[in-house]
Structure 1
Amino acid sequence: MRSIPVSSRSRAAILAFCLSLLLSACAAKGPLVPPDPPEVRDVTDLPQDLFAYLGPDGGRSVFTPDVQAGMLRGFLTGHFAPWERTSPPKDPGDAFWGLNHFAAKTVYGENLLRRSPAWMAEMRRLSRPEDFPNFGRPAVAVVHTSLRVLPTLEPAFLNRHLPGEGFPFDYLQNTAIWAGTPLYLSHLSADGAFALAHCRYASGWVPLADVAFAGPEFRKEFQSTPLVAVTRDRVPLADEHGLFRFEARVGMILPLVRATARGYEVFLPVRDARGEAVTVRGLLPPSAAAPLPLPATAANLARVGGSMLGEPYGWGGMYGHRDCSALLMDLYTPFGLGLPRNSRQQGKAGEYISLEGLSDQDKETAILARGVPFATLLWKPGHIMLYVGELGGRAMILHDVWGLRTEERGREGRHIIGRVAVTTLTPGEELPELKKPEGLLLHTIRGMVLLGSKNP
């Protein structure tokens, strides 16, 4: 039989037709990418609105005026303490703990490949621990930035195949810091790109380009005026020339120039050509800020916290988001309460009531009986939550949560929530794969912390 010649154009058409049939067959069997896990019932069924949990006495103060005044004094002392320093607050062993810690571990980079010994050797060279401290100047953050464990923005992940590891858990990410944060710089990296910085609540390496040196006149201007606190998250903030500087974030405080009908005129820190801090002026809308301290009523706490509901989880402040302890630290800043940065220390920030040894039901009963809505923290190892009230006989909490422990066919995993949410103490209890009882928050809560019972 004589063969029929086929042109290259015809062959291409035939291949395209076959490929379309193959893709159609695959689509008929289901998506090539697995769907996102279903939302836990608490997130879909409970009001994600803190005002829904206030009750009739939302205007009550959760701290007495004397207690709040004492909190504010302690907060301001700690906030500006870096500008009073003449030496670093940490000894070399504390400042450079990451060098030995990560040298003894297998860590992975952004390409998911193992970091080589040469990478760690370069981190040691850049850190110059033998010269510590080689610098000493007060400074201020001029953009939102991060404090890092090592002088690099490159990540260090553990094995992504382990539950709760891999992205986004970059173990070099210590914390985010907002623009306007007072700092003390104690040490410079070998290449001059990073400085070891200390603020009220943390220490770490910061890109030098993200900060400016705070001279005496700048510090005086920043400290000698009344202060305003940001009360609504992610408000674009421009200077008097209309140039965008950064987003106003809950947790920021800025010096007040004057209050007008248009809002609060504030000083913004910027970096000049010599790396020195100077000020420009910006305007915060009246709905986005308030003089420090904001009265500590349950309604005000609900308003400030509500502006962060739904925001993505951010390990150590990655991408400008928050983790569980950063959420609570920022939430209480407008009220003049300077919480520590990590959950373990926040668990010591007030009167501690142990719940260990109680059944899960008795734990919840104790929280409902003794907890003060919007002034009680619930602590478990690795996580901190805020009790916000009762709904249908259940305790309700506000927290920034990554995921819940699961187990399927003997393999542990995580069911991702990944955001700031209001839940019960047993989110995900309806999931067949939830590891029980260990995956229930209520089962692993160890204690409650009554804020205001003592000054942290």
Structure 2
Amino acid sequence: MNKSRKSLLSVIVLSALMGAAHSYAEPSSMQGVAPFVSDVPQVQQVMLSPSFWLERHADHTPIMNRAQIQAFNRDLIATNKHVIDPLAYSSELSAQQLRATIGNTSSTPSSPRFYVDGTALTEADFARYHANTNIGAIKESNKVHFGMVVTRTSLRTFPTDDRVLNAEMDVDLDRFQESGAFPGEAVAILHQSADKQWYLVAAYNYTAWVKKSDIAVGNKAEIRDYMHAKDFIVVTGDKVDTTFVPNKPHVSQVQLDMGVRLALMPQQDIEHLTHGQNSFASYIVKLPVRNSDGTLSFNTALLPRSSDVTVGYLPLTSHNLIAQGFKFLGERYGWGHDYKARDCTGFVGEIYKTFGVLMPRNSSWQGAGEYGQNWRFDSSATSQQKLAVLNNMQVGDLIYIPGHVMMYIGDYDGEPYVIHDVKGLGYLKDNDEFYDGELNGVSVTPLLPLHLNASTSYLDKTYAIKRIAAGTVQ
């Protein structure tokens, strides 16, 4: 399966992104001779440029149009229990419902856990965490409130910032870290911790604990109006910041990650000066902020027109799928959106959010989900059966192995290549010895050489391939 590397004769200049804010230029390291050291098989430096794949596989033909994407999302919310409209949450929860939700969110793990200093968590430690979930305050009927995320934040297993590791003591994998939530997202607020510092919230694709200071409580109708604003921007870069504004921390240098959607201020409400800066060279957005009493309001914020954003969603095309994926290349792996980054499902989820497509949070939820067009493989499936599907993949197709997802970007020399946010790197060397390395970031790799261990390849463990396409939600 290992093939000799072939020299590539030239670097292809990327055409302008359809609908995106920027066109690509080749990195300076591609324009001359630059050091390139790699232990990744069958990857050459030029393959790390999006233009290499765009020239071979890009297509501007829409995979789904806007109406089809809206229908896709509606059907997904209606049929998949892992994706919801938080604003459709019931106005009240019974004691039984709330206890069950807390129990599902904040369960004691079956295997040992350790603090970063190596100290094992005890029953008393878990009792303290459970006590802070405030189950004792549950009433026969519990009012549900609604709010918006005002700053990038973490969704946690328990209402605590404590970092907790498993027996392998991998400091990158905080086992209390579940997911992330981003400015402009709506949440249903289900409960408050005993220390009054955390909310239990239901976001569109996850339920967990979030810092109370990162959520503003508002009126559901007002939040829905904001979420359905006709004019909005979508962040299409890996991340952008709002413009610095002196003495206004709520709107100054706020990090906005790929896929964040913010309503634009109506033209008639924009003045020539916004926070002391001329407005004409900026996008003026309505940013959700948290008032001193915890309530929601919307303040004006500026984004330079040079920012990697687009007005409305990007067209869902193979060209844009590749271009968006490569904007994360080299970002460090962030388990559950840790490190202000993302993991494998966050990576593909945020790419597809730039087109307005929603997805479940976890890879198992995605891989098992019946939305999209699916090819499934049980334990009796042969490599030949899987290869027959791989040979007919389209850019943007998602490949699932247990605990991981990859996005197909095209073939080179008959070999399928993927881009993915991944921890480990394993493959068989020329002498059939297993190479056990690290990627720990967004990487371009061939698919077929990758192994989980000396005897098990990624192909062996591939259980689903999914295509996000119109008319295929089940």
Superposed pair shares fold, TM > 0.5:
yes
Paired residue total:
406
Partner of 1:437: 455
Kindly, what percent of the aligned residue pairs are identical?
A: 23
**Alignment pair present for 1:182 and 2:190:** no
Q: Which of 360, 364, 373 is the aligned partner of 2:387? A: 364
Q: 2:399·2:465 contact (CA, 8 Å) conserved in 1?
A: yes
Structure 1 runs of 4+ with >6 Å offset: 75-79
Q: 1:267 aligns with which of 286, 289, 294?
A: 286
Question: Contact 1:70/1:455 (CA < 8 Å) preserved in 2?
Answer: no
Provide the residue aligned with 2:128 in structure 1: 122
Q: Say which SS state the counterpart of residue 379 (structure 1) adopts.
A: strand
On the 8 A contact 1:265/1:283 being kept in 2, the answer is yes
CA positional deviation for 1:174: 0.8
Q: 1:424 aligns with which of 435, 442, 446?
A: 446
Partner SS for 2:453: coil
Q: Deviations over 1:133-183 (max 9, x none)?
A: 6553111111111111111010221112xxxx5322222111011122111
Q: Secondary structure at the match of 2:92?
A: coil
1:47-446 mapped onto 2 (5 Å cutoff): 47-54=47-54, 55=56, 57-64=58-65, 66-71=67-72, 81-82=86-87, 85-87=90-92, 91-97=98-104, 99-102=106-109, 104-132=110-138, 136-160=144-168, 166-215=170-219, 218-219=222-223, 222-226=226-230, 227-238=232-243, 243=249, 244-258=252-266, 262-286=281-305, 287-347=307-367, 348=369, 349-356=371-378, 357-360=380-383, 363-369=386-392, 371-374=393-396, 376-404=397-425, 415-427=437-449, 435-438=453-456, 440-446=457-463
Q: Which amino acid aligns with 2:87?
A: P
State the TM-score, normalized to the length of structure 1.
0.80
Q: Deviations over 1:25-46 (max 9, x none)?
A: xxxxxxxxxxxx9632355546
Counterparts of 2:128 and 2:195, CA distance in 1: 11
SS in 2 for 1:422: strand
Query: Does the 8 Å CA contact 2:114/2:165 hold for their aligned counterparts?
Result: yes
Compared with structure 1, are the counterparts of its residues 106 and 436 closer, same or farther at alpha carbon in structure 2 (3 Å cutoff)?
closer
Counterpart-to-counterpart distance in 1, 2:224 and 2:357: 23
Structure 2 CA distance for partners of 1:352 and 1:441, relative to 1, 3 Å: same
Structure (1/2) with the larger helix percentage: 1
Deviation, structure 1 residue 436: 2.6
Give per-residue Cα distances to partners, 1:396-440, cap 9 Å, x unaligned: 1111111135899xxx995210111121103557xxxx73331x3
**2:188 partner amino acid:** Y
Q: Distance in 2 between matches of 1:100 and 1:311?
A: 31
Letter in 2 for 1:63: M
What are the Cα deviations for residues 194-247 of structure 1, in whole angstroms up to 9, with x where unaligned? 111111000111111111112357426523522321111221113766752411
The residue type equivalent to 1:142 in the other structure is V
The alpha carbon displacement at 1:317 in A equals 0.8
Partner SS, residue 47 of structure 1 = helix
Write the letter of the residue equivalent to 1:366: V
**SS, match of residue 191 in structure 1:** coil
Instruction: Please tell me the residue identity of whatever aligns with 1:404.
Output: L
Please report how far the alpha carbon of residue 57 of structure 1 lies from its aligned counterpart in structure 2 after TM superposition.
Answer: 4.8
Q: What residue identity is the alignment partner of 2:62?
A: S
Q: Return the alpha-carbon distance in structure 1 between the equivalents of residues 239 and 102 of structure 2.
A: 32
Amino acid at match of 2:209: W
Structure 1 194/263 Cα, relative in aligned 2: closer, same or farther at 3 Å? same
Cα contact 2:102–2:133 (8 A) shared by 1: no
Q: Give the 3 Å change call, closer, same or farther, for CA 380–264 of structure 1 in structure 2.
A: same
1:107-134 Cα offsets, whole Å, 9 max, x none, are 1012121112221111121112243365
- Aligned-partner SS, 1:335: coil
Q: What CA distance in whole angstroms lies between the structure 2 residues aligned with 1:449 and 1:52?
A: 24
1:320-345 deviation per Cα after TM superposition (whole angstroms, max 9, x unaligned): 11111111111111211101111112
Structure 2 residue runs of 5 or longer lacking an equivalent are: 1-36, 268-278
**Residue in 2 that maps onto 1:40:** 40
DSSP 3-state at the match of 1:235: strand
Question: Which sections of structure 1, spanning at least 5 residues, go unmatched?
Answer: 1-36
Aligned counterparts of 1:76 and 1:267: Cα–Cα separation in 2: 26
The letter for the 1-side match of 2:344 is C
TM-score normalised to structure 2 length? 0.77
Counterpart code for 2:463? R
Give the whole-Å Cα distance in 1 for the aligned partners of 2:283 and 2:385.
48
Alpha-carbon distance in structure 1 between the residues aligned to 2:233 and 2:473: 22
Please state whether the residue corresponding to 1:238 is helix, strand or coil: coil
Deviation at 1:91, TM superposition (A): 4.6
Aligned pair in 2 of structure 1 residues 57, 193: CA closer, same or farther (>3 Å)? closer
- The residue type paired with residue 386 of structure 1 is M
- In the alignment, is the contact (CA less than 8 A) between 1:74 and 1:338 conserved in 2? no
Q: Please say if residues 418 and 445 of structure 2, whose CA atoms lie closer than 8 Å, have aligned partners that are also in contact.
A: yes
